[in-house]
């Protein structure tokens, strides 16, 4: 798994017997300030005087060998060529985040394959979060033993002198990094269709197994292979990258939450946060669907749809793009400072109001083409971003929406053919064995 800079299937009833296991995960949920923040949001925070970066004193670290050192932020100090557990040879740094760093390694125990190793900071809150993620990943591996779903695969994990290290399959760039390196040029609608199908399949798998990801964003969606061709665009008058393979996988399950677990009031990175979260109305699986809608529009435009760091301004942008927030939601909110007479308390003539009016427009006005694919895309996104979670498109419904239905039908036929072939091979094998007796 490359990190950005900035589960065989069971019947639901069987999950009821696993709550004791899940409750242990619940006890390990972290409470860190940046857990639902991207670097895009954190950079803005640091500009304010109330933001205090980590000073190395407020969190405990484990005692360790003197030969292993950390830097001032709790990162493991390593060098290219270093060996961890006499097995994993560090080849390069792939990325860095609030949690720690991701490095590319060679696994010398399995014939030398390349893989990604997530090295968590030697700080209690990050270590507890990583252990929670490990347990979720182990359960996902057991539920998806034949690797049908596009979720990143954990290969191994271990504790290295206080640093939880998680080994993953090696993937390509995050979709955010690809956008960034391509000068934020939008993805073609054909690519978005394949990317959307993979994201929806991955998250539908989570939802069927009582998990909500809660932190979907372009940084947490990685290409399986981000190789590309370079083509000259006469319209842009510059070279443009064209993906060879648009298939993606969903990563980062450190914030994944089971239905029965405590639901923290705030989830998701700001730009992909659903209105019910901002209004403190409680949330469920549908908050992931909202996030997916925001992500897909970002792929289509090349830029973030809701470019703000203020909750009230965020709600005002939603109203500008999606229409008025329903009165029944505003009546129920605990955030009374956002509401006046059951309407959003917002001055459209203020400087912020003028900014929102200038930078946002009704959703379908962003449509670049009136072709059927584009119209189906905006219809699906609009339904994914319904204000009322009860009326929002489910991922099961999304799979059958005209924008994804073609891919879903093709994939279902392929899986049915593969399943039939496996069944026939198994029957032939049994017949062969029977003829020997």
CA distance 317 to 305: 9
Q: pLDDT tens digits, residue range 40-93?
A: 655 544 444 333 344 444 445 554 445 789 999 999 999 999 999 999 999 999
Q: pLDDT tens digits, residue range 169-218?
A: 999 999 999 999 999 999 999 999 999 999 999 999 999 999 999 999 99
Structure tokens at 55: 């000073």
**CA-closest candidate to residue 103, choices 30, 191, 168, 14:** 168
Structure tokens at 13: 């009833």
345 is a catalytic site residue = no
Check pLDDT > 50 for residue 433: no
CA distance 86 to 11: 41
Q: Is 102 left (phi over 0), alpha (psi -120 to 50) or beta?
A: beta
- 397: CATH: 1.10.510.10
Tell me the residue length of the chain.
437
CA distance 212 to 119: 24
118 is in an annotated binding site: yes
CA distance 434 to 437: 6
Q: Judge whether 294 and 38 are in contact, CB under 8 Å.
A: no
User: Within a domain: residue 352?
Assistant: yes
Structure tokens at 62: 């484990």
Of residues 89 and 4, the one with the higher pLDDT is 89
Q: pLDDT tens digits, residue range 268-318?
A: 999 999 999 999 999 999 999 999 999 999 999 999 999 999 999 999 999
Q: Burial of 371 by CB count in 10 Å (0-12 exposed, 13-18 middle, 19+ buried)?
A: exposed
Of 177, 215, 252, 288, which residue is the catalytic one? 215
Does 215 lie in the same domain as 109? no
What residues make up the domain containing 8? 1-13+70-170
Query: What's the rounded mean pLDDT across residues 251-279?
Result: 95
Does 184 lie in the same domain as 80? no
Does 267 lie in the same domain as 398? yes
Which of 124, 148, 170 is a domain's end point?
170
Residues of the chain by 3-state class (helix, strand, coil), percent to 5? 40, 15, 40
Does 216 lie in the same domain as 143? no
User: Within a domain: residue 31?
Assistant: no
Query: What's the rounded mean pLDDT across residues 370-377?
Result: 96
Q: pLDDT tens digits, residue range 325-349?
A: 999 999 999 999 999 988 999 999 9
Does 226 lie in the same domain as 160? no
Check pLDDT > 60 for residue 248: yes
User: Within a domain: residue 212?
Assistant: yes
pLDDT band, very low/low/confident/very high, at 32 (cuts 50, 70, 90): very low
User: Within a domain: residue 215?
Assistant: yes
Q: In this prediction, what percent of the chain has a pLDDT beyond 70?
A: 79
**CA-closest candidate to residue 224, choices 199, 194, 251, 246:** 246
CA distance 84 to 258: 33
pLDDT band, very low/low/confident/very high, at 1 (cuts 50, 70, 90): low
Q: Is 356 left (phi over 0), alpha (psi -120 to 50) or beta?
A: alpha
Check pLDDT > 80 for residue 117: yes
User: Within a domain: residue 25?
Assistant: no
The kind and range of the H/E element at 314 are helix 311-322
Question: In this structure, which long-range contacts are made by residues 396-404, counting pairs with CB atoms below 8 Å and at least 24 apart in sequence?
Answer: 396/204, 398/200, 398/204, 398/289, 399/197, 399/200, 399/201, 399/204, 401/376, 402/376, 403/193, 403/196, 403/373, 403/376, 403/377, 403/379, 404/193, 404/196, 404/197, 404/200, 404/380
Does 134 lie in the same domain as 85? yes
pLDDT for res 3: 46
Check pLDDT > 50 for residue 143: yes
CA distance 308 to 99: 24
Does 117 lie in the same domain as 215? no
Structure tokens at 100: 């720690």
DSSP codes, 55-111: -SSSS------TT--B-TTSPBP--TT-EETTTEEEEEEEEE-SSEEEEEEEETTTT
Does 151 lie in the same domain as 186? no
Question: What average pLDDT does the structure give for the chain?
Answer: 84
User: Within a domain: residue 20?
Assistant: no
98 phi, psi to nearest 5 deg: -60, -30
The number of folded domains in the chain is: 2
- 85: CATH: 3.30.200.20
User: Within a domain: residue 222?
Assistant: yes
Tally of CB atoms within 10 A around 191: 18
Structure tokens at 391: 């009326």
Does 299 lie in the same domain as 270? yes
Against a cut of 0.75, is the pTM above it?
Answer: yes
Does 144 lie in the same domain as 219? no
User: Within a domain: residue 34?
Assistant: no
CA distance 373 to 293: 16
Structure tokens at 205: 């798998």
Does 302 lie in the same domain as 155? no
Gap between the terminal Cα atoms of the chain:
49
Sign of CA dihedral 428, 433, 436, 437: negative
Which of 152, 170, 188 is a domain's end point?
170
Query: What's the rounded mean pLDDT across residues 377-406?
Result: 97
Does 133 lie in the same domain as 160? yes
CA distance 340 to 194: 43
pLDDT band, very low/low/confident/very high, at 424 (cuts 50, 70, 90): low
């Amino acid at each position: 798994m490359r990190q950005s800079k900035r589960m065989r299937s069971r019947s639901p009833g069987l999950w009821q017997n696993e709550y004791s296991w899940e409750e242990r995960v619940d006890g390990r949920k972290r409470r860190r300030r940046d857990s639902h923040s991207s670097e895009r949001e954190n950079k803005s925070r640091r500009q304010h005087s109330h933001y205090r970066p980590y000073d190395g004193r407020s969190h405990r670290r484990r005692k360790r060998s003197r030969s292993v050192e950390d830097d001032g932020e709790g990162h493991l100090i390593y060098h290219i060529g270093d060996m961890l557990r006499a097995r994993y040879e560090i080849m390069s740094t792939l990325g860095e985040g609030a949690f720690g760093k991701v490095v590319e390694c060679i696994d010398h125990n399995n014939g030398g394959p390349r893989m990604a190793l997530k090295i968590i900071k030697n700080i209690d809150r990050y270590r507890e979060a990583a252990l929670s993620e490990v347990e979720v990943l182990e359960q996902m591996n057991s539920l998806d033993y034949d690797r049908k779903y596009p979720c990143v695969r954990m290969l191994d994990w271990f504790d290295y002198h206080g640093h939880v290290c998680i080994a993953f399959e090696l993937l390509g760039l995050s979709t955010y990094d690809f956008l960034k390196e391509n000068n934020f040029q939008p993805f073609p609608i054909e690519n978005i269709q394949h990317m959307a199908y993979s994201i929806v399949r991955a998250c539908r798998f989570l939802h069927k197994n009582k998990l909500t990801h809660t932190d979907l964003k372009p940084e947490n969606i990685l290409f399986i292979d981000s190789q590309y061709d370079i083509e000259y665009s006469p319209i842009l008058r510059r070279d443009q990258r064209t993906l060879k393979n648009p298939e993606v996988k969903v990563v980062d399950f450190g914030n994944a939450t089971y239905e029965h677990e405590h639901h923290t009031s705030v989830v998701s990175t700001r730009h992909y946060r659903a209105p019910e979260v901002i209004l403190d109305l409680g949330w469920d699986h549908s908050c992931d669907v909202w996030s997916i809608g925001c992500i897909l529009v970002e792929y289509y435009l090349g830029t973030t749809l809701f470019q703000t760091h203020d909750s009230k301004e965020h709600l005002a942008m939603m109203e500008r793009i999606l229409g008025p927030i329903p009165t029944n939601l505003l009546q129920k909110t605990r955030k009374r400072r956002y509401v006046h007479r059951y309407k959003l308390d917002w001055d459209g003539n203020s400087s912020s109001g003028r900014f929102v009016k200038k930078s946002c427009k009704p959703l379908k006005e962003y449509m670049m083409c009136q072709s059927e694919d584009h119209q189906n895309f905006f219809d699906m996104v609009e339904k994914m971003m319904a204000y009322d979670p009860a009326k929002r498109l489910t991922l099961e419904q999304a799979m059958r929406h005209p924008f994804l239905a073609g891919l879903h039908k093709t994939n279902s036929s392929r899986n049915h053919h593969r399943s039939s072939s496996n069944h026939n091979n198994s029957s032939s094998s049994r017949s062969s064995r029977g003829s020997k007796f």
